[in-house]
């Protein structure tokens, strides 16, 4: 089994020292799905709080930039690009987030944070219409760069 890097020899949590790593271009893409009843989806354009899809997109971008403030052992990164795409589907809203940087550590957490916060924002903006909305399927789709190389979810 591979050793977890966020623990020292005594088992205490620690921030990984990435200072010896080479800076490489790193890109990660993550997704989330917000399951919403079709009747509620039809009401999205008339949402009294505003356009939940656009607000969610902006919230996701802002969240990616704050990842190290939210996840204690994440390194603060200078992001070169973040984008969040929010698409209405038959049974809900699919969110795809991408984050990019040139750094010594990856941007998977930034992409995942963007997708998750965008999903939470859709929930917040629509909860008055339906309390049974579910946030599902939050996961990394792909990543490139770094020592471990490329990953693509099959």
The per-residue pLDDT for range 1-35, each reduced to its tens digit, is: 566 566 677 777 778 888 888 899 999 999 999 99
pLDDT at position 133 over 90? yes
More reliable by pLDDT, 119 or 47: 119
Domain boundaries, the chain: 24-144
Nearest-5° angle of CA 75, CA 80, CA 86?
Answer: 95
Q: Could you tell me the pTM of the whole model?
A: 0.91
Which of the residues 83, 85, 124, 130 is marked catalytic? 124
Residue 138 has pLDDT above 70, yes or no: yes
pLDDT tens, 43-97?
A: 887 877 788 999 999 999 999 999 999 999 999 999 999 999 999 999 999 999 9
Please check the confidence at residue 109 and state whether its pLDDT lies above 80: yes
| More confident: 121 or 2 | 121
pLDDT for residue 1: 56
Q: What is the pLDDT of residue 137?
A: 97
Domain boundaries 24-144, CATH class: alpha beta
Q: Which H or E run includes 28?
A: strand 24-35
Asked about 124 being catalytic, the answer comes back as yes
Could you give the CA distance from residue 89 to residue 97 in angstroms, rounded to a whole number?
A: 16
Which helix (DSSP H) or strand (DSSP E) does residue 143 occupy? strand 134-144
Place of tokens 């930039």: 65
Percent of the chain with pLDDT over 70: 95
Q: Which residues pair with 143 in a beta bridge?
A: 28, 151
- For residues 126-146, one letter each, b for 16 or more C-beta atoms within 10 angstroms of the residue's C-beta and e for the rest, the string is beebeeebebeeeebbebbbb
Question: What pLDDT score was predicted for residue 55?
Answer: 95
**What is the distance of C-alpha 106 from the center of its chain?**
13
The count of other CB atoms within 10 Å of the CB of residue 14 is 12
Sole residue written with tokens 């893409």: 29
């Amino acid at each position: 089994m591979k050793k977890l890097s966020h623990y020292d020899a005594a088992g205490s949590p620690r921030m990984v020292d990435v200072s010896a790593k080479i800076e490489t271009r790193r890109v990660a893409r993550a997704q989330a799905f917000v399951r919403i009843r079709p009747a509620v989806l039809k009401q999205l354009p008339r949402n009294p709080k505003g356009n939940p899809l656009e607000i969610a997109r902006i919230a996701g971008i802002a969240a990616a930039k704050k990842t190290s403030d939210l996840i204690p052992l994440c390194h603060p990164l200078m992001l070169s690009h973040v984008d969040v795409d929010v698409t209405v589907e038959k049974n809900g809203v699919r969110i795809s987030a991408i984050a990019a940087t040139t750094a010594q550590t990856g941007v998977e957490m930034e992409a995942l944070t963007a997708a998750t916060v965008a999903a939470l924002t859709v929930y917040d903006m629509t909860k008055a219409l339906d309390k049974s909305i579910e946030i599902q399927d939050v996961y990394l789709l792909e990543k490139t760069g770094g020592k471990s190389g490329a990953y693509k979810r099959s």
